[in-house]
Structure 1
Amino acid sequence: MRLTCDVDVVNRLLPSHNLKKSGRSCHSQLSIGKKTGIQNKDGTVYLMICTVKDRNGTKFALRDNVEQIFGRFICEGKATIRIKDPPKDLCLSKGDPLQLKSFLNLVKVGAQGKDLGKVTLSSLSIPSAKKVEKPKTKLVILNRRDYPMTTNFPSSLEQLQVSKCSVKRVDSRILQLKHLQVLNLSENCLKELPDLMENLKNLRELNLSVNQLSHFPMVLCKPKLAEALSVLDISHNELTVLPPHLCLLRHLVHLKLDHNKLITLPVTIGRLSQLKFLTASHNELQCLPASFLRLQLESLDMFCNPFSAEEQTPSQDNVEFPTLMEITARAIKAKRLLYDEESLHGHLCQYLDSARTCWCGGYCFQCATRYVQKMDMCRISPNVTSVDLFGRKEAPVESYLCSQKCLQRFRSNPYAYWRK
């Protein structure tokens, strides 16, 4: 039986000689087996540790030679095997919990001298260099010639960058990397992302900058990805609209939208409560949604957008009598009822997705009055890049009022914020 993990061999006599080990573990392969050929006369079972520097391995007899096994943190892939002779502790870490548990059970049986006839033991031969090398966790490909065409990506990858390779679609082999946390596909020719992208449930950072995306990849809003993604870079693309579903990325901390063709931001962007860094420079934004003011950012860059210079005061023309359809839609949004195109007609789903947020926190649709008011962006971030070459840090905010009551409150104090 074999186990791959990190091992730190500690000599218990060092403290008595006022010596201290560095405590650095090494990627190793552990085997339990018997010596081959003539050397196996007595049938002694050994535990062998092999590393890149010592492929011949260090052997420890098991029978009556294991003083204790510490397995309190076995669920975290950690354990310690205390050997009697020589007096050493084998500190195991970064192992698969299930494999580690089976391995330790076999160590106990071998230490008690019980029959292991039904257990398939490993041959204590010298392993290949590939088996003892530390798994590759990072790979950078910056040239089409270096792209692996006949071999698979290492399954242990945690960080992968594939840039400047003229990639037109995401390789299906990348979608099978279960441990992937950082994926950089910048400077390619991507126009869309596959639905199987949601299989990368551990993905924390995704860089899609300098591609040809014209529509926001909706797969990023699916539960598996939305729960993990914290950094998203979709700058230097051809996006014109961001969907309301963007607010499903609740754990998003850093969002880069620079150099696109965005006309507006989602009306629900204020729900990104974890967002701290936002850049949306060089777009076509004319005003910002009201929920934008709910963000609490550490850095904001809205430079070079054609923001409207005119303010617009609210009127009472559209806040008289909401339709039955709007009353129903407001109730659905307020109670957060789930809906999709299987339960509702497609145009009704689009209608619900177009919901605007009133200054009171409620939802409204056609029955609402619109107003535009300039706001100082320093209200939501201490570090604000000026919106134009003149150093201004004010931007127009588009807001809606859903009723006569909200309109009266606004007129009495335009800068107040209230909830129902």
Structure 2
Amino acid sequence: MRLSCDVHVVYSLLTSPATAKPVKATLALGIKPRVKTLLTTTTKTLGDVTLLLCTGKQTKKYEVRNNVLKVFKKYVGHGKATLVLRNPSHQLYISKADPVHLEKFLKLVVLHMKPSQDQIPVHLPELPNARDLLHLDERPKLKLTITQRQNYPLRDGFPSTVETLVIQNCMLAKVDSRIIELVHLRILDLTHNKIRELPSSLANLDKLAELRLAENRLSSFPSSICQTSLSCSLKTLDLSDNQLVSLPAQFGEMVGLVSLNLANNQLHTLPYTFHRLKALQKLLLLNNKLRCLPCNMHYLHLDTLDVSGNEFANEKSVCIMQSRLGVLSLMELCGRVMNCYRIQYNSSCLPLHLCSFLDACRTCMCGKPCFVSFEHCLGPVDSRRMARTVITDSSRDIPMEAFLCSIECKKRFTGKGQLVL
């Protein structure tokens, strides 16, 4: 059993520490061999359980049985622990260790420091040579790739230090709860599995910058994820080749997204809040069932937009789909004020039906919000005004869906048979 960590050795009887600061070291637990020479024959037998401390400059050996007085493991979750020894009178302060490996290591130490007859003996390997131990690569594992189901860890778990985790072709039906515990994770690739839904606990990965879930069986994207710290940390999201029919209105809160791939799904519409993705540069919407795009997408500064392979409506001029312009109700006025001043709300302070009303906010082409009082229209827009590079099937114009909050906006944005951006 080996453990890579930082160790600070302190003499209990002296005021000054043996080492000025913690040093990188490797701890090993094993059985020290005993060599006996009788005449011309040499025999090697196994002796006591020994703790080996190996640094770049020196090596020390400590007996474990009846020599380790105390083990302090209150902060083992942070990779820290302390061993108090009798002979020599040392204290070993352990830090920067893998919490999972440290916990297993300490369990073996406790098991052998005062063994009893009722305990089942644990067979330890022979203590390794100090020179061999120095050449072992014990650096924290930052990347783990699993591409076959038989290599998927069922008992051991994942290294807690991993930052990039790739699990492909493993037929996962859900996101493993052990993945959620990897607090250092920055890139998570679960491509080509059978995941049907995403857990809301995925938001605990507050350092996650890249999430790839292509070629799964997702039918929805949880709205709870969109309103957490993940909405700012996540830069790349790949949801291609799934079964998505729609996205939640809260998807507009994913303001950190730079690249979004929604290709090869069953999307009929995009949420009205899509224009809030100000950092978005690359948007792939090919091979869906979109009839139109929300007109407020022109607020985005896209570099690449791919909308090929969709079922866009063949609109040559502006078509009024629904007209609800009239005297504004009190609820409409309150909703517009809350939206303009960005007043936060949730189900704990407002009834559920009011939260649903506020979530259904549309944005007029002038930038103002509207809820019930609006004019819903559909019209063509020159695709070259949507992004620097636009990939379409044939026509240069893309049908856009617009909501107009007043008669003045209707006159302003529906001239010349096209929606005027």
Same fold (TM over 0.5): yes
Alignment of 1:126-141 (within 5 A): 126=130, 128=133, 133-141=138-146
SS of 2:355's equivalent in the other structure is: helix
Determine the C-alpha separation between the residues in 1 that align with 2:260 and 2:408. Answer: 36
Aligned length: 328
Question: Are 1:363 and 2:393 counterparts?
Answer: no
Alignment of 1:74-85 (within 5 A): none
Find the partner of 2:290 among 273, 280, 285.
285
Contact 1:46 1:59 in 2 (8 A): no
Determine the C-alpha separation between the residues in 1 that align with 2:135 and 2:266. Answer: 49
Determine the C-alpha separation between the residues in 2 that align with 1:363 and 1:412. Answer: 21
Q: Which amino acid aligns with 1:400?
A: F
Residue in structure 2 matched with residue 218 of structure 1 by the alignment: 223
Cα deviation, residue 238, structure 1: 1.2
Question: Are 1:302 and 2:273 counterparts?
Answer: no
Question: Are 1:206 and 2:211 counterparts?
Answer: yes
Contact 2:191 2:212 in 1 (8 A): yes
Residue in structure 2 matched with residue 393 of structure 1 by the alignment: 396
Cα deviation, residue 121, structure 1: 4.3
Residue in structure 2 matched with residue 410 of structure 1 by the alignment: 413
Cα deviation, residue 325, structure 1: 2.3
Of residues 237-246 and 175-184 in structure 1, the stretch that sits farther from structure 2 once superposed is 237-246
Q: Which amino acid aligns with 1:330?
A: R
Contact 1:320 1:404 in 2 (8 A): no
Computed over aligned residues only, the root mean square deviation of the Cα atoms, in angstroms, reads 3.5
SS of 1:59's equivalent in the other structure is: coil
Find the partner of 1:320 among 318, 326, 346.
326
Whose strand fraction is larger, Structure 1's or Structure 2's? Answer: 2
Residue in structure 1 matched with residue 338 of structure 2 by the alignment: 332
Determine the C-alpha separation between the residues in 1 that align with 2:93 and 2:348. Answer: 55
Structure 1 residues 140 and 49: CA distance shift in structure 2, 3 A: closer
Find the partner of 2:181 among 176, 188, 194.
176
Q: What are the Cα deviations for residues 53-94 of structure 1, in whole angstroms up to 9, with x where unaligned?
A: xx964428xxxxxxxxxxxxxxxxxxxxxxxxxxxxxxxxxx
Q: What are the Cα deviations for residues 320-363 of structure 1, in whole angstroms up to 9, with x where unaligned?
A: 22222222222222222222222223232222211111111111
Q: Which amino acid aligns with 2:168?
A: S
TM-score (norm 1): 0.69
Determine the C-alpha separation between the residues in 2 that align with 1:167 and 1:316. Answer: 45
Question: Are 1:259 and 2:257 counterparts?
Answer: no
Q: Which amino acid aligns with 2:205?
A: L
Contact 1:313 1:372 in 2 (8 A): yes
Determine the C-alpha separation between the residues in 2 that align with 1:263 and 1:336. Answer: 29
SS of 1:265's equivalent in the other structure is: coil
Determine the C-alpha separation between the residues in 2 that align with 1:222 and 1:316. Answer: 31
* Percent pairwise identity: 34
Contact 2:10 2:91 in 1 (8 A): no
SS of 2:245's equivalent in the other structure is: coil
Residue in structure 1 matched with residue 281 of structure 2 by the alignment: 276
**Structure 2 segments unaligned to the other structure (5+ residues):** 28-52, 59-77, 81-87, 95-128
SS of 2:342's equivalent in the other structure is: coil
Structure 1 residues 172 and 385: CA distance shift in structure 2, 3 A: same
Residue in structure 1 matched with residue 91 of structure 2 by the alignment: 120
Find the partner of 1:192 among 190, 193, 197.
197
Find the partner of 1:166 among 160, 168, 171.
171
Cα deviation, residue 33, structure 1: 4.2
Structure 1 residues 348 and 406: CA distance shift in structure 2, 3 A: same
Determine the C-alpha separation between the residues in 1 that align with 2:294 and 2:159. Answer: 44
SS of 1:396's equivalent in the other structure is: strand
Determine the C-alpha separation between the residues in 2 that align with 1:317 and 1:146. Answer: 59
Contact 2:246 2:268 in 1 (8 A): yes
SS of 2:388's equivalent in the other structure is: coil
Contact 1:226 1:251 in 2 (8 A): yes
Cα deviation, residue 261, structure 1: 0.9
